[in-house]
Amino acid sequence: MSSESNQPVRVRGLRSRLETAPAPVFVAYAITAAFATYFCMYAFRKPFAAAKFSGEVFFSTQIALKTAIVISQIIGYALSKYIGIKVCSEVSPGRRAATLVFLICWAEAALVLYGLLPNNFKVIAIFFNGLPLGMVWGLVVWYLEGRRTSELLLAGLSCSYIVSSGIVKDLGRAMLEGGVADWWRTVPLVGVGIGSLLGHVSESWMPAITGLHFLPFFLLAVWMLNQLPRPSEADVTARARRQPMTSTDRLAFVRQFLCGMVLLCVGYFFLTAYRDFRDNYQVEIFDGLGYPYAQNKTIISKTEMLVAFGVIGALAMLNLIKDNRRGLLTAFGIMTSGVALLGIGTLLLDAGLINGFVWMILTGLGSYLAYVPFGSVLFDRLIASTRVAGTAVFAIYLADAIGYTGSVGVQLYKDLGRGNLSHLNFFKGFSYFMCVAGMTCLIGSCVYFLRQRPKAET
């Protein structure tokens, strides 16, 4: 009886202390909680991509089995984004933590089904795995947006999926090769866990076992995240009030920014496809570049960690810009520079001036410099600059839904329209295309949004 009555006091006490904590302490706590939450989510989403299913096709079609599995998860994930337009923009603060836990338990159950089903039917399980996971990002961003330190918080959060994607895939590859114990020792950031007790794991069961590694850490991270206090009055004054949006609010937002949102969504359509292709086929691309996994067991983790440091540094600098209009312009500048780097890096590789490892770092840095702001600081600054009523989560999910639709299209185009090309050569051509298309859309949308004038807040 006594322990039960004391528990709420401890929870309230932590939140109260965070409300009055010095800014560096609050930022460090919030980044840790958000980073850990989304980092662990990736252990339920991306490990399957470490498997190759070499030589296997989907039901005797021209579509490779791995491509079918990748597409199926992306379809579920994209549908989740469409659902999230409503769910994540309307969810009440009191239901966010419980919703996060429910979504992850659903995803893990789908991975268990993935392990049980024959290969051709794994597409069903992986679809249901992607269906809940697309909403996790929006629920986490809800805790961080609308604060004076949002750039720092969202940059820290964004680095979670840059780093975690590589780490969980390297862990997955280590399980498949029977080298889990050695892998854990090479990644001190994660620490030694139950994975060190595992030997060889099949391609079918590796994703579910990887998820179980991270489930306890996810639950702890969500608890920590849920202790964050709501934005203060000073935050509201600086960044505009953030509130759940009704269907009427969402429609008004789209009508107000229609031209700019179309340009952003077209650019994001291809950018998401590019980023997803690189993420899902890193193993094959590195093989094509002459870096086979057997001799480079942590190369993906190393690449993405270097990328993460570059991205978090660039986005964190936005926190130094207090004027929201200038902050929005700087965000567009960072994104445009990122897509330009995709073309420049590929030119340098083709000219023999850099090696494949450096090129993969540049494509990662360029794509994430453009991609990360879409899911974090871009729309946060847009709302703060225009003072429009609503939440950045809605705009993020509108763009995400369209973006992941593009990812499905590109996956099918590769296998059905360009099946003769290797993953490496297709990715090179895609890099040149993304450079031109991305710069066109981003510069056009930047000009549009900078012409919008702020509205008085009611």
Q: How far is CA 130 from CA 36, 77, 81, 127, 361, in A?
A: 19, 4, 10, 5, 27
Provide the pLDDT for residue 431.
96
How many helices, marked H, and strands, marked E, lie in the chain?
Answer: 19, 0
* Non-local CB neighbours of 105 within 8 Å, separated by 6+ positions: none
pLDDT at 457: 44
Whether 96 contacts 149, CB under 8 Å: no
Quick one: tokens of 16? 């109260």
Give strand pairing partners of 431. Answer: none
If we measure between CA atoms, which residue out of 73, 51, 304, 289 comes closest to residue 174?
51
**What is the pLDDT at residue 11?**
45
Count Cβ atoms within 10 A of the Cβ of residue 93 and give its class: 0-12 exposed, 13-18 middle, 19 or more buried.
Answer: exposed
| DSSP characters over 184-253 | HHH-TTT---GGGG-----TTTHHHHHHHHHHHHHHHHHHHHTTPPPPPHHHHHHH--B----HHHHHHH
Amino acid in position 163: V
Residue 178: domain span: 11-450
What pLDDT does residue 179 have?
55
Rounded to whole angstroms, the Cα distance separating 441 from 263 reads 5
**CB under 8 Å to 417, separation ≥6 — which residues?**
none
**Cβ proximity of 210 and 43 under 8 Å:** yes
1 inside domain: no
**Is position 227 within any domain?**
yes
Tokens 């429910």: give the residue.
102
Task: Tell me how crowded residue 59 is: count the other CB atoms within 10 A of its CB.
Answer: 11
Helix (H) or strand (E) holding 306: helix 299-316
Question: Does 457 fall in a domain?
Answer: no
pTM above 0.85, yes or no: no
**pLDDT < 50 positions in the chain:** 1-5, 7-11, 183-185, 187-198, 456-458
| Residue 4 falls inside a structural domain | no
Number of domains, the chain:
1
155: three-class secondary structure by DSSP: helix
| Count of CB atoms situated within 10 Å of the CB of 92 | 8
pLDDT of residue 194: 44
Are 366 and 438 within 8 A, CB to CB? no
- On whether residue 186 sits in a domain, the answer given is yes
Q: Is 161 contained in some domain?
A: yes
458 in any annotated domain: no
Q: Is residue 456 part of a domain?
A: no
> Do 387 and 454 touch, CB atoms closer than 8 A?
yes
Partner residues linked to 57 by β-bridges: 64
**CA 437, CA 263: separation in Å to the nearest integer?**
10
CA angle 208, 87, 246 (to 5 degrees): 170
The Cα-based distances of 175 to 48, 194, 211 in angstroms read 11, 12, 13
pLDDT in tens, 53-68: 777 888 877 788 888 8
CATH number, residue 348: 1.20.1250.20
CA distance readout (Å), 68 to 131, 178, 273, 406, 412: 16, 26, 15, 15, 9
Q: How far apart are CA 40 and CA 164, in angstroms?
A: 8
